[in-house]
């Protein structure tokens, strides 16, 4: 017996069900946000008194954050939280997009720093629930990205080294969880290392206050090469690996002086080979890696290419080189922030409004990772992939049903990730709220 299937043309479509919930998986995020006391935290720390659109900051910020978790990259996308019964699974009043635009424009630089305090306090509370590194070592990767914009009426946007119009924010990312520990919006023309020393001065005390009591190591790429930043790290007692420009005159002569027998072969790709050696530069340990192609295409890059970094870490140069290369994990967090999420598009013409937008995107990013780890969706040794998290646990259709006063969120039968979802929801609901 053959089964007949309806033709797409024969299916009638209506948008009229007031009980349907779009992105029903936001229940996971709102559960953790409530346990963290995020609404009270925003109300306490963000004071926009006297600013047009500054009333009730908690509901507006939570609207932005939850919309970004669901994949909002424009202010108008927040309207999906008002569709059907979607707002009924959220413990706050969902604001309209026009209200959110006015709210963002009410921020000044000082008010954005208030959002910085919210990010720190949210991290502190989430870490107190089990994510704190405690006395264990913690690795931080500092990197920047280009947030491209469209149009010429974006205050502070400029053409940077990528030759694209945009902003140039800097981020500090915890390597093992992918949480963003600190952020700062910068003009598009900003040099990569601009403000790096001050950024580190703010970052380290923040991590200590949040619960990082052990050794901290920060990894930088060559754009942050700075003697002032290195001295500040040494003053703060923070270890580092900082890439250097291997083609610079002083570095190049040091590389040429390395004995040929000092190079140690390391594992590399099938079509290439790599070797590591070390020397010293300005009294610091300098580790150099050189690579080249082998095989049929060797003539394309017949000569060695050199990459180096200075470090105060002890141990085998090969192992430290591998450790430094692992900083590429920071690109996963940058990709998650930009790909179909808050930083794919920078919405406002006002620089401070866009700085506030960045802070909300960081809150959304961190909440997703915290839900995933605290809800035992992702093993501690694995990295959360935001696109997969949204598809499996957020973009979930549901229907709110009220039977004899008991509200039930009904979701599709045979959903492949139903067991993981329910385990996460039960686990998150069982968390003890952090004392405020």
b/e 376-386 (16+ beta carbons within 10 angstroms → b): ebbeeeebbbb
CA pair distance 89, 47, nearest whole angstrom: 27
Whether the pLDDT of residue 435 is over 80: the answer is no
Residue 323, SS3 per DSSP: helix
Tell me the pLDDT tens digit for each residue of 224-257. Answer: 999 999 999 999 999 999 999 988 888 999 999 9
- Is it the case that residue 297 has pLDDT exceeding 80? no
Residues 21-80 have pLDDT tens digits of 999 999 999 999 999 999 999 999 999 999 999 999 999 999 999 999 999 999 999 999
Calpha distance 190→169 (Å, rounded): 9
User: What are the tens digits of pLDDT across the range 359-405?
Assistant: 999 999 999 999 999 999 988 778 888 999 999 999 999 999 998 88
Q: Measuring CA to CA, which residue among 384, 388, 390 is closest to residue 372?
A: 384
* pLDDT the model gives residue 341: 81
pLDDT at 39: 96
Distance between CA atoms of residues 393 and 388, nearest Å: 8
pLDDT at 115 over 70: yes
Cα 277 to chain centroid, rounded: 33
Evaluate if residue 302 carries a pLDDT over 70.
Answer: no
Picking from 181, 101, 168, 102, the residue whose alpha carbon sits closest to that of residue 140 is 181
Residue 15 has pLDDT above 80, yes or no: yes
Percent of the chain with pLDDT over 90: 77
Query: At residue 434, does pLDDT exceed 80?
Result: no
pLDDT at 305 over 70: yes
Query: Would the pLDDT of 162 be above 90?
Result: no
Strands 138-144 and 170-174 come out as: antiparallel
Q: Pairing mode, if any, of strands 398-403 and 406-410?
A: antiparallel
Per-residue pLDDT reduced to its tens digit, 244-253: 998 888 899 9
**What is the structure's pLDDT at 270?**
79
Task: Give per-residue pLDDT as tens, 172-222.
Answer: 999 999 999 999 999 988 788 888 999 999 999 999 999 999 999 999 999
Reported as a pLDDT band with limits 50, 70 and 90, residue 110 is very high
pLDDT tens for 324-356 read 999 999 999 999 998 878 898 899 999 999 999
Structure tokens, 187: 């003009």
The tokens of 51 are what? 């600013």
348 contacts 102 by C-beta, under 8 angstroms: no
Q: pTM here?
A: 0.94
- CB neighbours of 132 closer than 8 A, spacing ≥ 6? 210, 211, 212
- Per DSSP, helices labelled H in 82-146 are 97-105, 109-126
Sign of CA dihedral 256, 258, 260, 265: negative
d(CA 330, CA 6): 47
pLDDT exceeds 80 at position 2: no
Burial label for 284, CB within 10 Å (0-12, 13-18, 19+), is middle
């Amino acid at each position: 017996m053959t089964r007949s299937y309806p033709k797409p043309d024969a299916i009638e479509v209506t948008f009229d069900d007031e009980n349907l919930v779009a992105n029903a998986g936001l229940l996971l995020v709102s559960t953790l946000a409530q346990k963290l006391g995020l609404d009270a935290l925003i109300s306490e720390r963000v004071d926009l008194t006297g600013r047009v659109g500054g009333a009730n900051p908690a509901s507006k910020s939570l609207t932005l954050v939850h919309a970004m978790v669901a994949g909002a990259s424009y202010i108008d996308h927040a309207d999906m939280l008002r569709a059907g019964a979607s707002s009924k699974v959220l413990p706050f009043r969902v604001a309209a997009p026009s209200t959110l635009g006015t709210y963002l424009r009410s921020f000044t630089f000082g008010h954005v720093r208030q959002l910085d305090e919210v990010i720190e306090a949210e991290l502190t509370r989430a870490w107190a629930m089990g994510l704190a590194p405690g006395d264990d070592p913690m690795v931080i990767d500092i990197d920047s990205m280009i947030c491209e914009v469209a149009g010429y009426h974006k205050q502070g946007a400029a053409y940077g080294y990528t030759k694209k119009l945009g902003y140039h924010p800097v981020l500090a990312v915890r390597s093992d969880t992918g949480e963003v520990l600190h952020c700062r919006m910068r003009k598009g023309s900003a040099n990569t290392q601009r403000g790096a020393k001050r950024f580190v001065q703010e970052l380290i005390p923040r991590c200590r206050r949040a619960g990082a009591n052990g050794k901290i190591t920060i990894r930088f790429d060559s754009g942050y090469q700075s003697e002032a930043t290195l001295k500040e790290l040494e003053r703060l007692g923070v270890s580092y690996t900082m890439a250097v420009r291997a083609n610079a005159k002083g570095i190049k002569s040091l590389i040429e002086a390395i004995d040929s027998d000092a190079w140690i072969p390391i594992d590399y790709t099938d079509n290439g080979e790599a070797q590591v050696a070390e020397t010293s530069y300005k009294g610091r340990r300098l580790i150099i890696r050189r690579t080249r192609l082998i095989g049929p295409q060797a003539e394309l890059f017949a000569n060695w290419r050199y990459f180096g970094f200075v470090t105060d870490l002890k141990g085998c140069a090969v192992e430290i080189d591998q450790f430094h290369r692992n900083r590429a994990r920071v690109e996963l967090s940058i990709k998650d922030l930009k790909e179909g999420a808050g930083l794919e598009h920078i919405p406002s013409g006002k620089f401070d409004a866009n700085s506030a937008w960045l802070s909300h995107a960081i809150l959304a990013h961190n909440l997703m990772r915290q839900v995933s780890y605290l809800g035992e969706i992702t093993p501690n040794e694995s990295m959360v992939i935001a696109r997969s998290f949204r598809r499996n646990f957020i973009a979930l259709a549901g229907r709110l049903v009220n039977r004899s006063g008991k509200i039930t969120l009904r979701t599709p039968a045979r959903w492949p990730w139903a067991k993981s979802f329910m385990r996460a929801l039960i686990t998150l609901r069982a968390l003890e709220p952090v004392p405020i």
